[in-house]
Amino acid sequence: MKILIVLTSHDELGDTGRKTGFWLEELATPYYHFRDVGWDITLASPRGGRPPLDPKSNEPYYQTDQTRRFEADDDAEQQLSATVRLDSVSVGDYDAVFYPGGHGPLWDLAEDLTSIALIEHMVTARRPLALVCHAPGTMRHATALDGSPLAANLQITGFTDSEEEAMGLTRVVPFLVEDELVAQGAVFSRVRDFKPLVVVDGMLITGQNPASSGLAAMELISLVRNTGG
């Protein structure tokens, strides 16, 4: 099996002067779920090369066994340092696509035409796609074949308004994931802040927050296997 993992290239947290990027746990935990079942992993980002890591995600409080495993893994680090440009990817080469979160995707992947087209293709063609935490927000401009919002009437979760408020960033981010998906007509589910939740709607898997990343990856593996992968 071949999986494409799409990471952000954006590193500025609005006008705060602070850095952002992808959230380490949301890459590391799924990465090892996929690798440990023998999947071939490709990492991609809009600009290619090494994508920015949200420095907060590597603070001791947020570190896990999997994040420490990733940082000690020379092969994983080499792969991260050489992500391919997203616009060079042929989605037909992959059995599934996974989007980690972090705040970065709200600025670049949500507006990136290649990413939007990729998401539209995966959903409309009913191919396995998983988006975690802030990554479901990258659906904001995606449309269905009839021009309606792609998220409309889909069962979805993502980083909630109250979780963003707990991070103190509701006035910093360009949009709130929960509000945006609800405005698009999605049927949005949530549990208590920072508790795991994964929602499956056909071939679309979404996870609420970093704690949901591993569960989302396992659901994606199961979905691919159950659909003949």
Residue 69 burial by Cβ neighbours in a 10 Å radius (0-12, 13-18, 19+)? middle
Mean pLDDT of 89-111: 97
pTM of the model: 0.98
- The range of the structural domain enclosing residue 114 comes to 2-226
User: Strand pairing partners for 98?
Assistant: 5, 130
Number of domains in the chain: 1
Phi, psi of 132 (to 5 degrees): -120, 140
Average predicted confidence (pLDDT) for the chain:
97
Taking each helix axis from N to C terminus, what angle separates 24-36 and 74-81, rounded to the nearest 10 degrees? 120
**Each residue's pLDDT tens digit, 63-85:** 999 999 999 999 999 999 999 99
Output the domain CATH number for residue 130. 3.40.50.880
**Each residue's pLDDT tens digit, 109-123:** 999 999 999 999 999
Quick check: helix, strand or coil at residue 62?
helix
- DSSP code at position 125: T
Mean pLDDT of 42-46: 98
